[in-house]
Chains A and B, each alone.
Chain A
Amino acid sequence: MDKILEVKDLHVDFDTYNGTVHAIRGVNFHLNAGETLAIVGESGSGKSITVRSILQLLASNATIAKGEVLYHGDDLLQKSDKEMDKIRGNKISMIFQDPMTSLDPTMTIGKQVAEPLLIHNNVSKKDALKRAEEVLRLVGIPNPEARMNDYPHQFSGGQRQRIVIAIAIVDYPEILIADEPTTALDVTVQAQIIDLLRELQQKIGTSIIFITHDLGVVAGIADRVAVMYAGRFVEYGSVEDVFYNPQHPYTWGLLDSMPTLDTNENARLNSIPGTPPNLLDPPKGDAFAPRNAYAMQIDEEEQPPFFKVSKNHYAATWLLHPDAPKVTPPAAILNRYKKFEKLGGNAK
């Protein structure tokens, strides 16, 4: 498969009054043409910062300390803001989290959707508006011809998110970055938006990086999943690999805290004890070690490398080291392993 985007050893720091926060500490991943990659992790794990670095849409106190973002082999981090303007909204575009605040309240939606076309293509205003109308229809706004001159406040939250999506896809981007696009929406609307994104991906053949903290959403849309913790990836692989053959104790914790159809209705949901580490002073070893019931001596001392689990499935935990003692994951994870074997996989 074609790698259209490759992020190598990305480090992002934030200057704050308390010192430098090392928010992203060496992230590596790639995106294949036409696929959907989901990045999951709890709030503050660095998901948004990772994808914003791709487009260089970071806060002014952020610096990309190190790394490469290769888009068709071209390092985007070496480009000037002006050169990036040609890529943003054209080759790579973004869908934001909160549709209630993402649209300009004083501009008609027709103009807002047409804007990327006018910026990147030599088209007349009339043609751009006509195309905007088509795209609004495509994303499921009823009667778009009558609503082109309406303002954002005249639409519901779900409709506004459709408009935000229309803005992102109007210029047929190669890569669509969706930063928690369903978090601010009702569950029923969430499902509609996920369906819409899948449908659009088939129609225009774009690749998607989908950020979420909702594992339930991931299964519905992603081809591959990466789990992020404290500014690093801890495990990545196909949806089946990560959901049914998870190896990192953090992934276990995440999956174990999610109710499934098998969960006893009277049982308490599990949660991961403790809080994420302070990234002003990142831990020397595995950042998850203090919250990890399976932590070993070495977890405190040395950052685990990625161990290969199967083709395309990697996890950064010392438990996968050949010398590590055998541990028994939580019962819910063992259930998942059974399902994985039924799917034809070979669980650990």
Chain B
Amino acid sequence: MAKYILKRILYLFLTLFIIASITFFLMKLLPGTPFSNQNRMSADQLKIVKAQYGLDQSVGVQYVRYMVGLLHGNLGTSFQFNNEPVTALIGQRLAPSMQIGAQAMVLGTILGILLGAVAAIRKNTWVDTLATFISILGLSIPSFVLAVLLQFYLAYKWKIYPVALWDNFQSSILPTLALTALPLGTVARFMRTEMVDVMSSDYIELAKSKGNSNWKVVTKHALRNSLIPVVTIIGPMAVSVMTGSMVVENIFSIPGIGEQFVKSITTNDYPTIMGLTIFYSFLLIIVYLIVDILYGLIDPRIRLGNGGKE
């Protein structure tokens, strides 16, 4: 197992290197320069600024420089956000996004699993219809619509939570709820489909024939077997939810990272684009690794090494 993880981490660096390279050259293909919005700069001034950031060199030289810096953990300096180092920029902005994202993921996954399981057990009853309705709502209502609704009722009318503020846990509840809908709906749908399959399988019938109560059949045999495909979708979804939703962050004035990414692209802020892309990739790869390890824990058939006896 340790050997496997080590190997995967090695691959992680290789993958990051390839992603960094591709992103670097794709980014250079973007039209415009980081300073196209600085109308008041003269041609000479622009030249000086470009030289200062090394943008006067050939693309090849810039690439080598960037990669060397990357090896030292230096992601460069942002052109747009107060000349801050990109690492510091990501660091500050990431925490709020990750916090509401993680909260939404945990809440959404747990509720989704419960909702899907209940729907599957009460298949083709009103409970199932209601659960399906909720999960489709979760999937189809855009998060910003939900965000505004939550703000209107829970904050403006009933004054339970602040409208748009970022300080304590209280203030993170509304944005978390707004983001919960998507993982909840997705997980519930996957869970229901899988659990309906599992509940009609032979080993569930055998579990019942042993004298297990219906509750025990579900908790001891059906749940775990239904979770396998759910784990697959949780990983990538976690990354996209945790790396921030620009819209939700805007609505609740959260100093998150989602907004920054979009802005960095529209302004050709090369170091920030690079830094965030590499960071997102890193997160995604790590999550996939965790998912693969989780698989082994849940399903012994895909456990690694020693013919599955690990």
Interface residues of A (CB under 8 A from B): 55, 57, 81-82, 85-90, 93-94, 96-98, 101-107, 115-116, 119-120, 150-151, 153-154, 164, 167
**A116 (CB) vs chain B CBs: closest residue:** B210
14 A-B contacts, Cβ less than 8 Å apart? A82-B213, A96-B202, A96-B206, A96-B209, A101-B202, A103-B206, A105-B225, A106-B225, A116-B210, A119-B211, A153-B308, A154-B308, A154-B309, A167-B206
A150 contact set on B, CB distance < 8 A: 309
Apart from A57-B205, A96-B202, A104-B207, 20 more pairs, CB < 8 Å: A57-B208, A86-B211, A88-B209, A88-B211, A89-B209, A89-B210, A89-B212, A93-B209, A96-B209, A101-B201, A102-B202, A102-B205, A105-B301, A106-B224, A106-B299, A107-B221, A116-B211, A119-B212, A150-B309, A167-B206
| Bound: A330/B180 CA distance, A | 73
Which of A89, A103, A151 meets B203, CB within 8 Å? A103
B298 contact set on A, CB distance < 8 A: 106
Which of B210, B216, B225 meets A93, CB within 8 Å? B210
Please tell me if the beta carbons of A151 and B308 are within 8 angstroms of each other in the complex: yes
Instruction: Kindly state whether residue B300 has any CB partner on chain A within 8 Å.
Output: yes
**B123 (CB) vs chain A CBs: closest residue:** A60
A85 contact set on B, CB distance < 8 A: 211-213
B212 contact set on A, CB distance < 8 A: 85, 89, 115, 119
| Bound: A221/B301 CA distance, A | 36
Please tell me if the beta carbons of A98 and B300 are within 8 angstroms of each other in the complex: no
Q: Which chain B residues in 162-211 approach chain A with CB under 8 Å?
A: 201-203, 205-211
Instruction: Kindly state whether residue B307 has any CB partner on chain A within 8 Å.
Output: yes
A88 contact set on B, CB distance < 8 A: 208-211
B224 contact set on A, CB distance < 8 A: 106
Instruction: Kindly state whether residue B214 has any CB partner on chain A within 8 Å.
Output: yes
* B 203-244 binary contact with A (CB < 8 Å = 1; else 0): 101111111111010001100110000000000000000000
| Bound: A101/B298 CA distance, A | 18
Please tell me if the beta carbons of A96 and B211 are within 8 angstroms of each other in the complex: no
Sorted from nearest, which 4 A-B pairs have the closest CB atoms? A89-B211, A89-B210, A101-B202, A151-B300
A273 to chain B, nearest CB (A): 34
| Bound: A55/B207 CA distance, A | 13
Please tell me if the beta carbons of B301 and A98 are within 8 angstroms of each other in the complex: no
**B303 (CB) vs chain A CBs: closest residue:** A151
A96 contact set on B, CB distance < 8 A: 202, 205-206, 209
A107 contact set on B, CB distance < 8 A: 220-221
| Bound: A233/B205 CA distance, A | 26
**B301 (CB) vs chain A CBs: closest residue:** A153
| Bound: A96/B211 CA distance, A | 15
**B211 (CB) vs chain A CBs: closest residue:** A89
Which of B207, B211, B214 meets A120, CB within 8 Å? B211
By CB atoms of chain A within 10 A, which of B201, B216, B300, B307 has the most? B300
| Bound: A105/B301 CA distance, A | 8
**B228 (CB) vs chain A CBs: closest residue:** A106
Please tell me if the beta carbons of A102 and B211 are within 8 angstroms of each other in the complex: no
B207 contact set on A, CB distance < 8 A: 104, 115
| Bound: A164/B207 CA distance, A | 11
Please tell me if the beta carbons of B225 and A90 are within 8 angstroms of each other in the complex: no
**Are A94 and B209 CB-contacts (below 8 A) given A105-B299, A106-B300, A151-B300?**
yes
| Bound: A76/B213 CA distance, A | 17
* B 284-310 binary contact with A (CB < 8 Å = 1; else 0): 000000000000001111000001110
Please tell me if the beta carbons of B211 and A87 are within 8 angstroms of each other in the complex: yes
B201 to chain A, nearest CB (A): 6
B206 contact set on A, CB distance < 8 A: 94, 96, 102-104, 164, 167
A154 contact set on B, CB distance < 8 A: 307-309
**A59 (CB) vs chain B CBs: closest residue:** B200
A104 contact set on B, CB distance < 8 A: 203, 206-207, 221, 225
| Bound: A333/B220 CA distance, A | 52
By CB atoms of chain B within 10 A, which of A96, A106, A120, A154 has the most? A106
Please tell me if the beta carbons of A57 and B210 are within 8 angstroms of each other in the complex: no
Which of B203, B216, B301, B308 meets A102, CB within 8 Å? B203
A82 contact set on B, CB distance < 8 A: 213
A195 to chain B, nearest CB (A): 23
By CB atoms of chain A within 10 A, which of B206, B207, B213, B224 has the most? B206
| Bound: A88/B209 CA distance, A | 5
Please tell me if the beta carbons of B203 and A167 are within 8 angstroms of each other in the complex: no
| Bound: A154/B207 CA distance, A | 20
By CB atoms of chain A within 10 A, which of B209, B225, B309 has the most? B209
| Bound: A87/B205 CA distance, A | 15
B225 contact set on A, CB distance < 8 A: 104-106
| Bound: A338/B95 CA distance, A | 90
A47 to chain B, nearest CB (A): 16
**A87 (CB) vs chain B CBs: closest residue:** B211
By CB atoms of chain A within 10 A, which of B208, B212, B224 has the most? B208
B202 to chain A, nearest CB (A): 4
| Bound: A104/B307 CA distance, A | 18
A243 to chain B, nearest CB (A): 31
**B216 (CB) vs chain A CBs: closest residue:** A119
B307 contact set on A, CB distance < 8 A: 154
| Bound: A104/B208 CA distance, A | 12
A120 contact set on B, CB distance < 8 A: 211
